[in-house]
């Protein structure tokens, strides 16, 4: 996992698993307003999201997480704890908005689930309104029923090249590819890192619970003020829309409509940059 602070009065910084000291020095400056953590999809880095860095409509603090293979949960937990602690002065606490897109849906849920292992962070989170937004993905990113068919993911990994990665980005953007930042300003990632990340998601263990959304129910138990919105992409050429619908139907059965809102965007491709921007801004 790499972590980049895009906004919020902090210098942009990338964090690898051994770079907590670099992030520490840059994370000390706190901005007011909501805190948003965006878990990007497979094969991303900060490059396509450059416009977010200067977007005045973005939240006070925006943290981008990509390349989810690297075990950097403690660094991101530390950043969030510092951000929340800096405002823990009895005033109104900023909301925390966690956005997971594509494979980032599973990454976001796993990260939040693990965050509760830190008692201080658990206490800070439980005192705030937490909003989860999931976009064009499920908690089972590679799955015959609820995600990308395993055979498709395996073939994608086997045939990976710079050309196939470019084709993938074209497909995920659909009709918007011509003007989409994912195509115009693509991420700078090596084929090796893409293969490593895809292999990671292909080998994630399936949940042992009867309902595939059980992890969300555990999170909801720890966060009384939690609300979840799932945004399904109706023209998704990557994660089949039917798989998204099946997963969120099961999730709704478990969580109830008072905790989970499911919104379908009939014309949205998998990589709908405008939709993602509006969701991260908190407007969708």
What is the pLDDT at residue 87? 64
Task: Give the sign of the dihedral formed by CA 182, CA 185, CA 187, CA 191.
Answer: positive
CA angle 121, 125, 129 (to 5 degrees): 165
pLDDT tops 80 at residue 184: yes
**Among 37-41, 76-80, 188-192, 230-234, whose mean pLDDT is lowest?**
76-80
Query: CA 183, CA 192: separation in Å to the nearest integer?
Result: 20
pLDDT tops 60 at residue 30: no
CB–CB of 122/66 below 8 Å?
A: no
Alpha helices in the chain (DSSP H): 20-26, 73-86, 104-115, 119-126, 150-158, 162-173, 181-184, 191-202, 214-222, 241-255, 273-281
**Domain assignments of the chain as residue spans, ordered by start:** 32-281
The share of the chain scoring above pLDDT 90, in percent, equals 62
pLDDT in tens, 119-173: 888 888 888 889 999 999 999 999 999 999 999 999 999 999 999 999 999 999 9
Task: Please enumerate in sequence order all residues whose Cβ is within 8 A of that of 24, keeping only pairs 6 or more positions apart, or say none.
Answer: 78
pTM score: 0.89
CATH 3.30.70.120 fits 32-281, yes or no: no
The DSSP code for 27 is: S
pLDDT tops 70 at residue 39: yes
Q: What is the mean pLDDT of residues 28-34?
A: 54
What is the pLDDT at residue 24? 33
């Amino acid at each position: 996992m790499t972590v980049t602070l895009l906004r919020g009065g902090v210098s942009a910084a990338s964090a690898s698993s051994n770079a907590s000291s670099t992030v520490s020095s840059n994370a000390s400056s706190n901005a007011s307003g909501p805190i948003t953590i965006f878990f990007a999809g497979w094969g991303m880095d900060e490059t396509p999201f450059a416009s977010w860095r200067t977007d005045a409509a973005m939240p006070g603090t925006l943290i981008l997480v990509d390349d989810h293979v690297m075990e950097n949960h403690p660094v991101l937990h530390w950043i969030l704890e510092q951000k929340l602690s800096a405002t823990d002065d009895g005033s109104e606490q900023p909301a925390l908005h966690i956005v997971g897109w594509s494979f980032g849906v599973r990454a976001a849920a796993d990260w939040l689930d693990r965050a509760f292992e830190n008692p201080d962070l658990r206490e800070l989170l439980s005192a705030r309104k937490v909003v989860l937004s999931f976009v064009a993905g499920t908690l089972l990113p590679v799955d015959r029923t609820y995600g990308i068919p395993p055979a498709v993911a395996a073939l994608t990994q086997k045939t990976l090249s710079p050309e196939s990665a470019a084709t993938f980005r074209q497909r995920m953007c659909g009709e918007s590819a011509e003007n989409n930042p994912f195509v115009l300003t693509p991420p700078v990632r090596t084929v090796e890192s893409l293969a490593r990340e895809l292999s990671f998601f292909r080998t994630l263990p399936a949940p042992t619970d009867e309902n595939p959304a059980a992890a969300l129910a555990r999170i909801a138990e720890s966060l009384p003020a939690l609300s979840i919105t799932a945004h399904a992409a109706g023209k998704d050429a990557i994660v089949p829309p039917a798989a998204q619908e099946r997963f969120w139907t099961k999730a709704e059965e478990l969580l109830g409509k008072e905790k989970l809102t499911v919104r379908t965007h009939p014309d949205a491709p998998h990589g709908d940059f405008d939709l993602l921007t509006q969701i991260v801004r908190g407007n969708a």
